[in-house]
A and B are shown apart, each in its own frame.
Chain A
């Protein structure tokens, strides 16, 4: 029972033996203020929403567009400040669409489930299943066999392997798998966390940033990529117009665009980390010997391990070859079913390992994004945003790309990167149309920039997971994160300017 939920009378009974009546009355009064203070952003968001709804309508801003815009602004404030549980925001979006927009509730319900949402759901189930296979020790051993015992080489190995895996199965999966590898290497080197402070930072950031830079590599690297692919299809694809076929981006198309950028960033990540946190130990031979002993105890690969690897390879093949026809979501669901049928994971584990509220949240955010486009709200914001950019010469070409990237990087550092793309996607894609830029280029820039959430613990799933180790401070993310942000933006802009035109954008 929370302190806030106690009635003053009950509170008085509980602590009355120690405090005077006046003291209890004062504390309970303070607690009521405290409750409203803790929830202040909810009330501010509601007040902002009410204020926006009173704005005068114009020729280019319909009543429906204003309502959707208001809902987006309120949802964004709630996403960033989190005064209420985040899935509640999803429920509020659904209620708002029915009550404020007057949409049919069945249609709203239908709009919640798309292939992108199915993909997010399937990949999360896959993530739990993959982590449960306990292949992490073997992966760790594989890394150190190749890299040797030198700290810098191990960091590079961890980044590269974490990145390679994360580019296909999502950063949260790999971060959860590799976290014990990093901590084991740290604790086997020294029991005293103060003596391995920098080593811990280098190893753990190698995992998280290795995963983060890789998340851009393929559509299955993160929910944000699937959301952007869904938006391209929803906003620009017209089955009767063959010209619009280019907006159906499949798995291989995405990889050709984005995978090279991931590969370029991997060695730079290690250089930045080693320059920022100078590790106390240049050689981890002592830890490696112990790690080897632990791996030896596991013995050779068992039949179950081989089946897990086979399902994983099948899913990967399915994504590459069939995602265009049957959808990425179906392939991900197929993988989850495969693990369940083979008995490699229990439904109970999947049920408790996946936060289903997050799927609901993404579904509602995407649904709202589609409404942004349908009501013209996205176009209205895009036109006004472009007017703001034009005095700075950032309303076209490289300037616009940089502006979109900076905006996305800022937003993604304040909320989850999937939510950032869901919120910004409709706006930037309309922005591209209004500015006569390629929606594909602007879409890639947005989806890729949403991975640049290196500054905060909550920026990316991998950062949140490695932070749970207890070895990192929030200030560590700032210390190295800004360097990562600059590096990633430069690599992306160079790629967009020199490489993407070669692909015919």
Chain B
């Protein structure tokens, strides 16, 4: 006799296997401009392709009755609905949908399916509207209830999986201690998500990605993964940078860049747009060169909480200090 947990696991695995060949992007919407910029970027990243699923996620915190004096906030929400008003989450998700698909097109060419999932502790639960195009691509609006936004986004990964999570980014220039001890939603997602995460900050599309390499096997994988990702854009532009901490390492850094360039040509027939070899502090150099690109791409430094406080990590430091968007690859 199979337990409920086993049944759930089998169902989830079947769903995940079905989704293995699809390119799934989870875009977190919170009403900010960064969220919508990220969504437009997701659309550029192959949103029109049949193998692409874009999932728009809005996370609403579970009602805390004490803050509303013991009267559940749902009473106010129900009152809003009775006036014919849309709840903020739905309103923001619909704004996102309008950015992806026009009204007329949506009516004519897309099938709609609505699902409600019961959530412990919240009477309204999770709500999902799935729009399926005849070509195969889908757009999903997901209104999720969770204790906090970061938990909601990370929980949502379980129902995925996703190739990429896109979320707005915290303010540039947060201190290392602050970012580690009181991480923002985007920082929590960047640290803990099992897949790649794009943190949107001053995102200007069309300027390409700058991928950071250090000659390790992991960075080689990152370059390959980034080239595959870039190929989804209408005008793929990827540049690479390798920073040596001192002048002695310069020749080695040059060799790493050349090898990466050859490897991309050989494996994927992909040309790097520019290559940079710099000497100095890796974080500073990457940020300086990276500001001319749409996003800086780095591999996850894989450091735990204590290590982040003590020594940081190139990826987490770039994430905090960069002027523009940063993608943490996994």
Q: Which residues of A contact B (CB under 8 A)?
A: 1-3, 6, 10, 13-15, 17-19, 23-24, 26-27, 29-31, 33-34, 37, 82, 86, 120, 124, 127-128, 131, 134, 136-137, 170-173, 175-177, 179-180, 183-184, 187, 222-223, 352-355, 357-359, 361-362, 416, 418-419, 457-458, 460-461, 464-465, 468-471
Contacts and interface: CB of A to CB of B under 8 A. Distances in A.
By secondary structure, the A interface counts as helix
B69 A172 contact: yes
Nearest to B12: A14
Contacts of A17: 16-17, 20, 161
Given A23-B194, A33-B304, A176 B66 contact: no
Contacts of B82: 134, 180
Contacts of B13: 13-14
B71 A468 contact: no
Interface stretch (B45-53, B84-92, B245-253, B282-290): B84-92
A37 B67 CA distance: 23
Most chain B CB within 10 A, of A13, A15, A460, is at: A15
A30 B191 contact: yes
Contacts of B80: 179-180, 183, 469
B79 A24 contact: no
B85 A187 contact: yes
Contact of A179 (B79, B161, B192): B79
Contact of A172 (B64, B68, B151, B157): B68
Given A33-B304, A179-B80, A470-B91, A464 B73 contact: yes
B313 interface: no
B72 A353 contact: yes
A470 B30 CA distance: 10
B273 interface: no
B73 A468 contact: yes
Interface in B1-39: 8-9, 12-13, 16-17, 20, 31
By secondary structure, the B interface counts as helix
B123 A124 contact: no
Contact of B85 (A183, A358, A418): A183
B194 A24 contact: yes
A114 to B, nearest CB: 16
A470 to B, nearest CB: 2
Contacts of A24: 194
Nearest to B156: A3
Given A17-B161, A18-B161, A30-B305, A120 B70 contact: yes
B74 interface: yes
Contact of A1 (B74, B123, B157, B158): B158
B194 A27 contact: yes
B202 to A, nearest CB: 18
A18 B194 contact: yes
Contacts of B8: 1
Given A30-B304, A124-B71, A13 B65 contact: no
Given A26-B302, A352-B72, A470-B89, 16 more contacts: A1-B155, A10-B9, A17-B20, A23-B194, A30-B305, A127-B71, A131-B79, A170-B71, A172-B71, A176-B76, A179-B76, A180-B83, A183-B83, A223-B70, A354-B72, A362-B70
19 contacts: A13-B9, A15-B194, A19-B330, A27-B192, A30-B191, A34-B192, A127-B75, A128-B75, A170-B71, A176-B75, A180-B85, A184-B83, A223-B69, A352-B74, A355-B65, A461-B69, A464-B68, A465-B68, A470-B31
B198 to A, nearest CB: 17
Given A3-B158, A27-B194, A124 B70 contact: yes
Contacts of A31: 192
A268 B76 CA distance: 27
B191 to A, nearest CB: 7
A131 B161 CA distance: 42
Interface in B172-189: none
Report the 10 A-B pairs with minimum CB-CB distance, sorted nearest first: A470-B88, A355-B65, A461-B69, A358-B70, A180-B83, A176-B76, A172-B71, A172-B69, A464-B67, A458-B67
B97 to A, nearest CB: 15
A358 B9 contact: no
A6 to B, nearest CB: 8
Contacts of B154: 3
B229 interface: no
B71 A177 contact: no
Nearest to B71: A172
Contacts of A187: 85
A358 B31 CA distance: 30
A281 to B, nearest CB: 19
A352 B9 CA distance: 32
Most chain A CB within 10 A, of B71, B79, B123, is at: B71
Nearest to B90: A470
Contacts of B17: 17
A37 B192 contact: no
Contacts of A355: 63, 65-66, 68, 70-72
A183 B79 CA distance: 11
Given A184-B85, A361-B66, A470 B92 contact: yes
B60 to A, nearest CB: 9
B77 interface: yes
Interface string B121-156: 001000000000000000000000000000100110
Contacts of B231: none
B69 A177 contact: no
B149 to A, nearest CB: 13
Nearest to A456: B67
Contact of A2 (B63, B75, B83, B151): B151
Contacts of B92: 470
B69 A222 contact: yes
A136 B79 contact: yes
B321 interface: no
A373 B91 CA distance: 51
A2 B17 CA distance: 21
B151 A3 contact: yes
Contacts of A460: 69
